[in-house]
Structure 1
Amino acid sequence: MEAQRDEIERQKDEITGQRNIAIAQRDEIAHQKKEITDSIHYARRIQQAVLPPPKFLSDLIKENYFILNKPRDIVSGDYYWLAERDSQIIIAAADCTGHGVPGAFMSLLGVTFLKEIMGKIKELTANEILDELRKSVINALHQPGVQNTTRDGMDMALCIYNIDTLELQFAGANNPLWLVRDQVLTEYKADKQPIGFYEENKPFTNNIIQLNKGDAFYIFSDGYADQFGGPKVDEGGKKFKYSRFKELLISIQNEKMPVQHDILLETIEAWRGPLYQVDDILVIGVRV
């Protein structure tokens, strides 16, 4: 009997020891997770600090715009960029390789290079800005232009809006621009190449568009159209898709731009339902 008691005590001590180890490991994991999360939250503050404040546009075009920026994670691989020179407003919507922390690092590169490029170019053209940005990204990422080179980079829609002449320049790296006029949506296609290494890099195309009062134009990443959801979320849902996105934008043309922002956000949230947000979402709209 005494031997049995000793064995039971030994087993109890062993179980207690294993439980203490498990608790210590749990606490260590929780501590490490908190440190990582705190670091990412701080990275978000840095990312937001380098982005132009939305007030930048409101000072120039009042409430005739919106920026819907909804990261999938704490930090985002999508970013917007704004600048102004001589009655010209430069507006860009970019989608970097990856999301979360890797995408956020790429976005900081993009913002830094765009600021440098603006200081170098005297006569602003949308395609030249993308050409110069591509050179900077390739050099920074050491992409020599050979097979098996990493495909890091970004897709981007960039436009230059002259608020005096109503002329709009647009250049796109995989991402288009949509113009809505009199309830008709026209798509200005992007060049099928990224900002980064590509087997057949060509100069980007500059599209010149004469705007009319009342027109609205939109640039965006692919996150909105690619969101899964809909009536069959229990089966994984289906993509929102670009066709539904176009129909939605046409249907809300009578609304002011801040209201359009709210409708777009509410619509995609209702579509997503309980499903996970699959990508960063960025949509920029401007009313002439």
Structure 2
Amino acid sequence: MLSKSINIQINIFSFTRFVTSSFLILFLFCFSNQTAAQTKIIMGTTTDTKGNPVEGVTVIMPNIGEGISNSNGGFTIEYSVSKGSPKKVNVEKEGYSLIDYDLGKNGLAITLRELDRTLKGQVFAQKNAPLSSAEVTWKGVNYEKVTQTDAVGNFYMEIPNGKTITSSSEFVINGTKINGKFFSYDSKLNEVKIVLSGDLSNPILKESKTKKEESKTEKVAEDTVKIQERINLENVVNDLEMQKSMLAEQGYKIRAAMEEIADELNRSNITPQEKSRLRRELEALAAQLIKNETAFEEAQAETRKLMDKIKGLLYEKDSMTTAFTEKIEEVEAEKKLARLYVLVAVIFVILLLVVVGIGAFFSRKINKQKSDLEKSNYDLNQTKGDLETKIDEIQNLNKEVTAKNQKITDSIRYAQTIQEAILPPNIEFEKAFADHFVLYSPKDMVSGDFYWMANHYTLDGQKTVLAAVDCTGHGVPGAFMSMIGNTLLNEIVNQEKVFDTAQILTRLHEGVKKSLQQNNMSNDDGMDVCICTIHFNSDETAHVQFTGAKRPLYYFQNSFLQSLKGDTKSIGGRDRKDKPFTTQDLYLMKGDCLYLMTDGFSDQQNADNKKFGTTRLLELLEKNATLTLSVQKQELNDELQTHSWGTEQRDDITILGVKI
């Protein structure tokens, strides 16, 4: 249960929500400038993934105000201009999570997804003894959920959306099918109890018909509650949840500070010295991120082990206490029997000697058992003391784990901001192109994809170098590769003024091999790159020089989508065939478009494990090529969400579109 609580806490601050919130803030800022001078109104709707309105969703703008959606899913937020522009947007609705924001003709559209529910259950063997380490399977049409009971028979499993438990539901315990006659389900608490017994009169299975059976049912229920209360770790979990809420609040404040640093980097008047200093600080933090992530994984595993150990110790203590109580009752019964023998001896004086002998025999036996019980009691007290000491040690370890979790979580969030800060800002695209879009969707919080751009003004005119790069792996390893690639491109183009695309990739290839010591070590990590240098002419035409490392370049000209294939050689890795990179030339007119991309979009699978495919992607680009690039981006997003609904993102996704 502790592991589940930790996962839920982490998922709350997912990267998707951070990115979509950033785009929503930009939209609200632009929209607010067109309303009345004194008060402004923001209108929108909240719907689920099927398009049905969601009522009671609280839309919160911390520095502006909040609104609640009605039965039609609509909401409005009216605020005074003096409060400033919207900064942040939060959406709250129990049982739902945010998927996306979008601006349409009817205002701000917010899409929510209904969360899976958690089923809690307990499995008993005969005589209501909890069954530990049992495999529990819940089967239904086209789905199957499997989990395992803990030391006291408890289990938890996620219920898919739209699925419910009925009397016809089927559970399988250790390979044995259990139907509705052997389990009871409480829909209010979403709890199920299963008893592996052929006796259908068991009080957990059906209502009693006699007063004797009713009394037995109440006693079994009372004993079950006592067992659960003694081994319940809810208080420990609640404490951890409270601490994690505090960590989340601290993470929010830290991200706000990081956004200020990112804003400083995006200022047009920032000096090269300041920019270099800030980037060195970001690179130092990126190195710290790897260490913190390793510590986070170790802390997570240690937390699960410690909680399992606590449950086992507490259950062992409960079993020993029960055995001790049974011993006491046995001694009391034997004492009554001894008093009966004494009474018989008084009545039957003739058998006095025999009775005395019997009494002495039983007296010695009782004394011996009493001595044994006292020793057992002493051992129990010793065990109790040892348990309390171990619990204190575990609590101290939990505090250390919590502190490490805080540092690791903060570092991951910070690394996310670091990577976003090194990406080219929109103003650089606007200097070079009539229109553009960037579709950038990392699989994890940090990405192995990145895009790079540089504008240079020479005696021959403006030259713009544009690249889309797919590094080996994703997440933190891929992010480190992207940092290496970004640094090398800055050195080659911005410092050494190399604009020939074949030379750029050759230098990048050599730099990666040197940075990763691939001549001395057996690793093939590297990059696939699509890069082009655009020479802008005075007659509004452009000469494009292209080189690809296993990536093509697509362009739309004369009403057709066409392509240039890249070389079959990657950046980095061991050179089996030392082939040089080649350049290809392309001449474009005003209004023609270029598309640079990685393979993440075309490789995304749907629920049937079918990829989106390169052919389908190119058909979609050609179909929408005459639309504005912002509309093209929205069409790509819509098609991707429809295709991948119900599945996890497979890889980082990057697509750049620019218009000459």
> Which TM-score bucket, shorter chain as reference?
0.7 to 0.9
Deviations 1:131-165, CA, capped at 9 Å, x for gaps: 11111111111111x7x731111110001112324
Moved more, 42-51 or 10-19: 10-19
Listed as ranges, the matches of 1:1-288 within 5 Å are 1=328, 3=373, 6=377, 29=401, 31-62=403-434, 64-86=435-457, 87-119=462-494, 121-122=496-497, 124-144=499-519, 149-164=522-537, 165-197=541-573, 198-229=575-606, 233=607, 235=608, 237-288=609-660
Aligned to 2:248: none
Inter-partner Cα distance in structure 2 for 1:121 and 1:208: 23
Using CA pairs under 8 Å that are at least 6 residues apart, name the structure with larger relative contact order, 1 or 2: 1
Inter-partner Cα distance in structure 2 for 1:195 and 1:34: 37
Inter-partner Cα distance in structure 1 for 2:647 and 2:400: 31
Following superposition, the deviation at residue 216 of structure 1 comes to 1.3
Question: Does the CA contact (< 8 Å) of 1:226 and 1:240 recur in 2?
Answer: yes
Distance 1:15 1:273, change over 3 A: farther
Question: Does the CA contact (< 8 Å) of 1:93 and 1:282 recur in 2?
Answer: yes
Aligned residues: 280
Superposed CA RMSD: 2.5
With the length of structure 2 as denominator, give the TM-score of the two structures.
Answer: 0.40
SS in 1 for 2:530: strand
Question: Does the CA contact (< 8 Å) of 2:454 and 2:494 recur in 1?
Answer: no
Inter-partner Cα distance in structure 2 for 1:154 and 1:58: 27
Question: Does the CA contact (< 8 Å) of 2:465 and 2:499 recur in 1?
Answer: no
Following superposition, the deviation at residue 210 of structure 1 comes to 0.7
Distance 1:28 1:251, change over 3 A: farther
Inter-partner Cα distance in structure 2 for 1:23 and 1:8: 22
**Structure 2 residue ranges without an equivalent (≥5):** 1-327, 330-372
SS in 1 for 2:654: strand
Inter-partner Cα distance in structure 2 for 1:135 and 1:88: 24
Deviations 1:107-154, CA, capped at 9 Å, x for gaps: 11111111111145456211111111111111111111x7x7311111
Inter-partner Cα distance in structure 2 for 1:24 and 1:240: 50
Inter-partner Cα distance in structure 2 for 1:102 and 1:219: 23
Q: Give the share of equivalent positions with the same residue, in percent.
A: 36
What letter is aligned with 2:446?
V
Following superposition, the deviation at residue 15 of structure 1 comes to 7.4
Following superposition, the deviation at residue 33 of structure 1 comes to 3.5
Distance 1:11 1:77, change over 3 A: same
Inter-partner Cα distance in structure 1 for 2:647 and 2:395: 32
Question: Does the CA contact (< 8 Å) of 1:81 and 1:111 recur in 2?
Answer: yes
SS in 2 for 1:223: coil
SS in 2 for 1:155: strand
Inter-partner Cα distance in structure 2 for 1:247 and 1:12: 71
1 or 2, which has the higher helix percentage? 2
Structure of greater Rg: 2
Inter-partner Cα distance in structure 1 for 2:588 and 2:490: 27
Following superposition, the deviation at residue 53 of structure 1 comes to 1.1
Following superposition, the deviation at residue 19 of structure 1 comes to 7.0
Moved more, 202-211 or 115-124: 115-124
Inter-partner Cα distance in structure 2 for 1:238 and 1:22: 47
Distance 1:119 1:53, change over 3 A: closer
With the length of structure 1 as denominator, give the TM-score of the two structures.
Answer: 0.87
Question: Does the CA contact (< 8 Å) of 1:54 and 1:67 recur in 2?
Answer: no
**Structure 1 residue ranges without an equivalent (≥5):** none
Moved more, 119-128 or 69-78: 119-128
